[in-house]
Copies of this chain bind each other. A is one copy, B any other.
């Protein structure tokens, strides 16, 4: 366990509204870069007309790709932003709802927005950093020890 305690005064909030037809991951990334937010907490609701989610396969060391397969409600989109090599890296997972109320979900690889995606990004700290985990090749948050 690594814990980093952050005091409140440095936080900002971005409200990002993705338009119809925009791809969610790229759009949120553009907003982060434009506003200079490099670490934070992300939540969103809305809808996707398509896209792909991923499941990290330990044996292959890569994501299995799962097609979203039609219009879905974005029931939950949750995750964080941290910095790797000076750039913001978005890590978000999503749960999606089909017409019968059944769900599917995974790591969001890409999602085509329809009719909207309402994203709230709360800046946590400028200094959260990702490092590459040698076992998995994934970039994971490396929080500083408590002070």
Contacts and interface: CB of A to CB of B under 8 A. Distances in A.
Interface of A: 1-9, 11-20, 22, 27, 30-31, 34-35, 41, 43, 45, 47, 53, 55-58, 64, 66, 71, 73-76, 78-80, 91-95, 97-107, 114-116, 118, 120, 122, 124-125, 128, 133, 135-136, 138, 140-143, 146
B80 A45 contact: yes
User: Looking at chain A's contact residues, is the secondary structure mostly helix, strand, loop, or mixed?
Assistant: strand
Contacts of A104: 97, 101-103
A93 B75 contact: yes
Q: How many copies does the complex hold?
A: 3
Nearest to A54: B73
Contacts of A91: 45, 118
B141 A17 contact: yes
A80 to B, nearest CB: 5
A121 to B, nearest CB: 9
A1 B19 contact: yes
A44 to B, nearest CB: 8
